[in-house]
Structure 1
Amino acid sequence: MDEHFVWVTTRRLRPGALEDFESSWRPDPYPQGLRRAFAYWSEDGQEITGVSFWDSKEVCDSWRASEPEKQRRAAMAPYVVEERESFYLGRELAVPER
């Protein structure tokens, strides 16, 4: 099974800020070494979780320390109340067919 390098960030947003937040969170340029990214948000739009898959932890850490990422975080800051983030190793679980 393939092992994945995964960065997960969960942010609690100010009420009514989801649309503005979404316009500020997309990286530009997209980082090298980023394989896939997903965003999941709560029904009330006040919590959003981002899950990104990377070539390695080092590539992810390099992006996180970059100037474009610092600018992106500054653009998101007015909409964020709280932020939690962690790096994980993992793999896809096989789900039996029914």
Structure 2
Amino acid sequence: MDEHYVWVTTRRLRPGTLEDFENAWRPAPAPQGMHRAYAYWSEDGQEVTGVSFWASREACDSWRSSEPEAQRRAAMAPYVVEERESFYRGRELTLPGTGRG
């Protein structure tokens, strides 16, 4: 089975700042080694969870320690109240009856 490398970050935002936060969080240029990324918002717009898939732990670590990432984090900082982040390894689960996984 294919192993996936995933970075998950959950941020609690200041009320009413979701749109400003969205404008600040998109990385430019796209990180090398990132395959895809998703963002999920709570209904009240005060919590955002980002999930990014990476080629390797090293690719993720390289981005996390880069100057563009430091600039991105500084741009997001005024809107963030709390932040939790973790790196995971895993794989797609087999779902009964789907023929996937």
TM-score with structure 1 length normalisation?
0.97
Aligned to 2:26: 26
Q: Deviations over 1:41-67 (max 9, x none)?
A: 100000000000000001100000000
Aligned to 1:88: 88
| Matched length | 98
CA–CA separation in structure 2 for the residues paired with 1:97 and 1:78: 47
Q: Which amino acid aligns with 1:64?
A: R
CA–CA separation in structure 2 for the residues paired with 1:63 and 1:83: 18
Give the secondary structure class of the aligned counterpart of 1:60: helix
Give the secondary structure class of the aligned counterpart of 1:92: coil
Q: Which amino acid aligns with 2:34?
A: L
Question: Which consecutive residues of structure 2, in runs of 5 or more, have no partner in the other structure?
Answer: none
Identity of aligned residues (%): 80
Aligned to 2:17: 17
Question: Which consecutive residues of structure 1, in runs of 5 or more, have no partner in the other structure?
Answer: none
Q: Which amino acid aligns with 2:20?
A: D
CA–CA separation in structure 1 for the residues paired with 2:42 and 2:94: 26
Q: After the TM superposition, which segments of 4 or more aligned residues of structure 1 sit over 2 Å from their partners?
A: none
Residue 97 (structure 1) shift: 3.2
TM-score with structure 2 length normalisation?
0.94
Q: Which amino acid aligns with 1:13?
A: L
CA RMSD, Structure 1 to Structure 2 (Å) = 0.9
Residue 94 (structure 1) shift: 1.6
